[in-house]
Structure 1
Amino acid sequence: MSASVLSGVAWRKSRHSNSDGSCVEVAGLPDGRIALRNSRFPGGHVLVYTRPELAAFIAGAKDGEFDDLVTGP
């Protein structure tokens, strides 16, 4: 989905975002789904997830299931 379709939604990013602006932004949509985009390309493509889908991902992240992707070998 293109970001232009989602004009008017309130995008936000983590306070842990790095100083060069490389971060993922999220926005709640009127229908209850959640949109994600790359903050470096705000006019680019947007991924849209249901609340249960994103909740499952966040739970996995909190449990450390994806730590190896950012800490390296």
Structure 2
Amino acid sequence: MSDELADELARASWRKASKSGSNGGDCLEVAVLSGGRVGIRDTEAPEKAPFVVRSAVWDAFVDGVKKGEFDF
């Protein structure tokens, strides 16, 4: 990971889904980054390196969630 990306991730405004509640567990946080990227991290391990994907990948994931493609 480049120093520039590491700095941006450290300063990023991370948010989690409003429906995740305040139970303190098993949530993901996302942050919009420069260059059309999105950072994704685990709230239980924010010190670990997050996944960074293009916004098109994130948009496809969100679309799939809305369509129920990941429902069990």
TM-score range, shorter chain: 0.7 to 0.9
Counterpart Cα distance in 1 of 2:47 and 2:54: 21
* Aligned-residue CA RMSD (Å): 1.6
Structure 1's consecutive aligned runs of 4 or more residues displaced over 2 angstroms after TM superposition are none
Give the share of equivalent positions with the same residue, in percent.
Answer: 38
- Normalising by structure 1, we get a TM-score of 0.80
Partner of 1:7: 10
- Normalising by structure 2, we get a TM-score of 0.81
Could you tell me which runs of 5 or more consecutive residues in structure 1 were left unpaired when the two chains were aligned: 69-73
Moved more, 38-47 or 11-20: 11-20
Could you tell me which runs of 5 or more consecutive residues in structure 2 were left unpaired when the two chains were aligned: none
Partner of 2:36: 32
Bigger share in strand: 2
Q: Which has the higher contact order (CA 8 A, sep 6+)?
A: 1
